[in-house]
C-alpha cells in the first residue's frame, strides 16, 4: 500500500465515474487538492476524504474499512 497506488486508483475512479474528470486539466486540479490535503507541509486543501470514491480507492490498494486522514497521510510515498 502506497500513496502513489492510492492516488492512481483514485484518479482512475474519478475518470470512470465523473464526466468532469474527462478533462485532464480539471482532473489534475482535483488531484492536486488531494495531494495538498495529504501533504501536511503544504497546509492542506479543500478535499473531503469521506467520499465513496475514497473508500473504493482505499480498498483497491488493500485497505480495510473506511480510511482515516491519519492512515492516508501515513501511506509511504
Q: Concatenated DSSP letters for 7-74?
A: HHHHHHHHHHH-GGGGSHHHHHHHHHHHHHHH-GGGT--S--TTSHHHHHHHHHTT--SS--HHHHHH
Residue 60 has a pLDDT of 96
Split at pLDDT 50, 70, 90, the class of 75 is very high
Q: What does the pLDDT look like over 27-66, one tens digit per residue?
A: 999 999 899 888 876 555 667 788 899 999 999 999 999 9
Amino acid at each position: 500500500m502506497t500513496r502513489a497506488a492510492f492516488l492512481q486508483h483514485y484518479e482512475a475512479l474519478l475518470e470512470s465515474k465523473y464526466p468532469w474528470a474527462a478533462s485532464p486539466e480539471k482532473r489534475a486540479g482535483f488531484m492536486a487538492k488531494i495531494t495538498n490535503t495529504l501533504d501536511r507541509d503544504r497546509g492542506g486543501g479543500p478535499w473531503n476524504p469521506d467520499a465513496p470514491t475514497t473508500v473504493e480507492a482505499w480498498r483497491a490498494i488493500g485497505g480495510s474499512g473506511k480510511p482515516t486522514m491519519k492512515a492516508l497521510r501515513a501511506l509511504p510515498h
